[in-house]
Amino acid sequence: MNATIGIISVDANHPIYVAGLLGNFRALGHKIRMTDTNPLPPNDWPELQAGWVWLCGAGPGDPGLITLHALNALRQADAIVYDALVDSRILEWAHDDADLIYAGKRGGKPSAKQRDISLQLVELAKAGKRVLRLKGGDPFVFGRGGEEAQTLVQHGVPIRIIPGISAGIGGLAYAGIPVTHRDVNQSVTFITGHDQSGETPNTLNWRAISQGSQVLVIYMGMKHITPITDALLKAGRPKDEPVAVVTDATTPNQKVLESTLGSLVTDLEKSDMSPPAIICVGRSVEMRQVLDWQSMIAGAKPRNLDPLGRGKPADAS
């Protein structure tokens, strides 16, 4: 299998391009913001009260993938503490008087310490602010949301958790890769590419993971891709197993590299791809040949209508 990198060149009608414009009213030349023009649908929406902190997932990138609860929170918060992977267009939906406080953590770059971030949330809440902690993806999926929530509760600060779409699911979907598919897998394992020390996790049983899960989804794994692939191959995963790397998932800058486990390190070195990235290992990657919906919207035809070689229509059991 030869490595391929998919880069979508979109026109003005492409959904990601349109979503980008809808999330950035300055690009459209409008001064009226979404908060002023698009009321939430009727519902018993919760009120973000003074002294509370809502920990909220902002989704994998595309502003259209945030939840209505997240939008409701954005419209109320006095202070929004946001991560590096939160799309700036989402912050456009905060109200004019909200304080936007950057608290991003990116591997290999100067970042705030986790303890300082957690205690800042406590301080803002104790000052009577309505605080929104906005995190990329889902706050409880490799997002340190549990640590921050526990710190808040230990300091007597009331909280609400608002889940978000994780990149390991939504990001792969935007690449045309179903994280589960009946003909491929009945299990999927989510793995972080580094632990608290910043190194490859040494507590993982790679053999058990390799033997027990047909599809693996690896977050934050590009920095340590060599030891990760070595561990998987040593644990018995085949060299020709399909692998996809999706960078800047769900954004206009999304790129997808299709490779194999044995060739991945070399193929990544030849590419110009860089984090943030989601890595998917398993035969579900082959489904991209028929489900690369962004390329199809841009005019391309499916590469293979039967990538798994079933020999019968998808609707046939």
| Catalytic sites, residue numbers | 83, 105, 220
Residue pair 308/286 in contact by the 8 Å Cβ criterion? yes
Pairing of strands 188-192, 242-247: unpaired
Structure tokens at 130: 């309505």
**Residue 29: Cβ-neighbour burial (10 angstroms; 0-12, 13-18, 19+):** exposed
Contacts of 11 (CB under 8 A, 6+ apart): 17, 298
Q: What distance in Å separates the CA atoms of residue 260 and residue 174, rounded to the nearest whole number?
A: 20
* Distance linking the first and last C-alpha atoms of the chain: 28
Contacts of 219 (CB under 8 A, 6+ apart): 141, 142, 167, 168, 190, 191, 192, 193, 278
Question: How is the chain split among helix, strand and coil, in percent rounded to 5?
Answer: 30, 15, 50
